[in-house]
Structure 1
């Protein structure tokens, strides 16, 4: 298969899970980011831990970790992976009235962890939205992307700022 072909489509054009049987086990990691933009008052409330529902970042962090672990159940052709590390972090950015969410996923395996890193950020962002929607229904989730990956055939890849 050439590098410009879709990896999850077989020769007949049907959806197909990639066969990684012959791929070497290597250390792999991926990082992703995304943003939740909100009203300044909402950002202040959750940054200061004053939300009536409790610590929004703690709940969203656990949700992001759980999301990464469930990626194969959510994305049909993803391989179930034995993740060795999932990290989810939040960075309030008051000047842009948003929260930057970052994730790191690692493992020793035969396939990459980009989808798990993206899922961690996405589920954390959705949880943050869910917990705050009653006070700020106009929030938006933006810019979810892979920022870096290491390991595998392609080695080290780092994204550029959009």
Structure 2
């Protein structure tokens, strides 16, 4: 009889709220036990229903900011990071901090990459020197006998 009733201690560890809500939705498909699952995972039912209602909505102003962030990143040839994008968006009149810019970059899949300084290759081996076959005898008797370059 104790197997039927859910008990504490089964909360999904290291799971964010949207992951826990997805798990509740998956488990509650078989039976209508949303109330018990929300209680078990310590998620308010209002949060569960709010998440289901707003799951697929795209906010137009956030999408506009995301497109502007993509354009700024492309114009900088991939070197603009969250601080640069936030500064550029603020110059365009948008009120965006660096954390929101980082979130926009994450949503768009943008990664800042700084070009590295040119470094010469360090060779530990001795250079291979070609043998001196001419021995400074530059006068030749026949054409195409000696080539140098």
**TM-score after normalising by structure 1:** 0.22
Structure in which a larger fraction of residues adopt strand: 1
Rg comparison, structure with higher value: 2
Higher RCO, 1 or 2 (CA under 8 Å, sep at least 6)? 1
**TM-score after normalising by structure 2:** 0.24
Structure in which a larger fraction of residues adopt helix: 2
